[in-house]
Structure 1
Amino acid sequence: MDALKDRMIDAALPHVAFDGWSAATFRKAVEDAHVTPAQGRAAFPRGAIDLALAFHRRGDAEMVQRLRGGDLTDMRFRDRIAHAVRLRLEIAGDNREAVRRGITLFALPIHAADGAAAVWGTADAIWDALGDTSQDVNWYTKRATLAGVYSSTVLYWLGDQTEGHSATWDFLDRRIDDVMQIEKMKAQVRKSPILSSLMAGPNMILNQIRAPIRPPRGDLPGIWRDPS
């Protein structure tokens, strides 16, 4: 099934630039991949929307593989995050129009939840690949913050015409610097006796939040499961 999905994604990409992630593209992908319509629907029950999501997840998987195969020990942690986001965009670079068409698709209200889940999945994949072990509310805040950084950087990247996308990487560095300023402010709040006392109540509630239990396959980040 994985091989069939890859064949259909590869067959779809030349058509996406013209027809978007549409029913027409899905039909052409079925034809060009030399599979039956039944096989195509078995692989992608919702058709083009599932095809677009599979394309996105394939990019995430390649990013994770490269991150885990690289040596990041000499990098500061903020630089590791920037490297991961840049790597993810470089992987998508050969299919920039497919990314643009995907954003158009997921901007539709009916598919907005799928688009948000895809971005969340990318942020989750990055944190997991970088060895995040948080089990409290930080599990959520890290991914939510990175999802915002990733989303804004993708939009900037799509409109960037500078050589080597240098303006995008500068933009990415500025966004991560902004996040680091927030982390510094949070540290200052924790060190202040007055502010710490004011936050005692909210912190008591936040300390009860735990990271979700992963599904058996681990491919649906943020889904709660009963450990029994």
Structure 2
Amino acid sequence: MKYVDKVDLVTKMLNHVPDLGWTWDALYKAAFNSKKLKSLTEEELQTLFDNKISNIIGIFNDKLDEEMYVIFNSQNNKNLGVTQTVKALVLSRFRASENCKSIIKMSLFFMAQPGNAYEALNQLMKTSSKIWEIAGDTSTGRNFYSKRLILAGVYSSTLAYWLAKETRSIDESEDFLDKRLDDVKNIGKISKQSIEVFERTKQELRSIIRKKI
């Protein structure tokens, strides 16, 4: 199956996630409503994603990353400095996610389950790396990884803040993001402040994923 068909199936699945959660049943219902995939068995559908729900969530996250890029490019962001470019991309990611906050909470809850820790971190770092890639980062070695680790902390803490209240706007979260970016002014360098941001992020995310949706 082509990757684009998998993305289409996951997109259809989102209509069922609010009621069924990130489950195989939600995938089966999405496939049942697809002319291309209606004939596939449940086993065949699971095989498409290597029998892992986390892979489906990964495609969902990749889709949001692509939408982030489209939103960022639709705005006048060409002449921004590095920090402001990173900020604009994080806010673009939130705008791409604006209509599926509850689904994102569900994905965090699922990925917090035992056995999903590595994949959860991998997906977070993938988004962080995508932001730096679009921002034109050409760093290598330790600097490459430190930038992505620090940004992962900034992004996650702001995401936790935004998700904490269903009615919290992106504009409100922008003020919070500014403070987090100010905490790590030297965003390409590991510092005591950046480590503190990352550690605080883990606590904030735990408080979000422990809440049942």
Alignment: residue pair count: 186
The root-mean-square deviation of aligned C-alpha atoms, in Å, is 2.3
How far apart in 2 are the matches of 1:44 and 1:150? 27
Q: Does the alignment pair 1:96 with 2:73?
A: no
The one of 73, 78, 90 equivalent to 1:73 is: 78
Identity of counterpart residues, as a percentage?
27
Whether the 8 Å CA contact 2:91–2:170 is kept in 1: the answer is no
Counting only pairs closer than 5 Å after superposition, residues 147-158 of structure 1 correspond to structure 2 as 147-158=152-163
Note if contact 1:67-1:129 (Cα within 8 Å) is conserved in structure 2.
no
Which range is displaced more, 52-61 or 63-72?
63-72
Amino acid aligned to 1:20: G
- How far apart are the structure 1 equivalents of 2:188 and 2:8? 43
TM-score normalised by length of structure 1: 0.73
Structure ID, larger Rg: 1
Partner of 1:61: 66
For the Cα contact (< 8 Å) 1:7–1:33, is it kept in 2?
no
The answer to whether the aligner puts 1:18 opposite 2:6 as a matched pair is no
Structure 2 runs not aligned, ≥5 long: 192-213
Deviations, residues 78-134 of structure 1 (Å, cap 9, x unaligned): 111111001001101111111111000111121111111111000000001111000
> For residue 179 of structure 1, what is the aligned residue in structure 2?
184
| Correspondence for 2:31 | 30
- Change in 2 beyond 3 A, CA 1:181/1:129: closer
1:85 aligns with 2:86: no
* Correspondence list, 1:72-151, <5 A: 72-151=77-156
- Distance in 1 (alpha carbons) for counterparts of 2:27 and 2:159: 25
In the alignment, the residues of structure 1 paired with residue 81 and residue 68 of structure 2 have an alpha-carbon distance, to the nearest angstrom, of: 19
Tell me, in whole angstroms, the C-alpha distance in 1 between the residues paired with 2:68 and 2:168.
23
Structure 1 CA distance for aligned equivalents of residues 190 and 48 of structure 2: 47
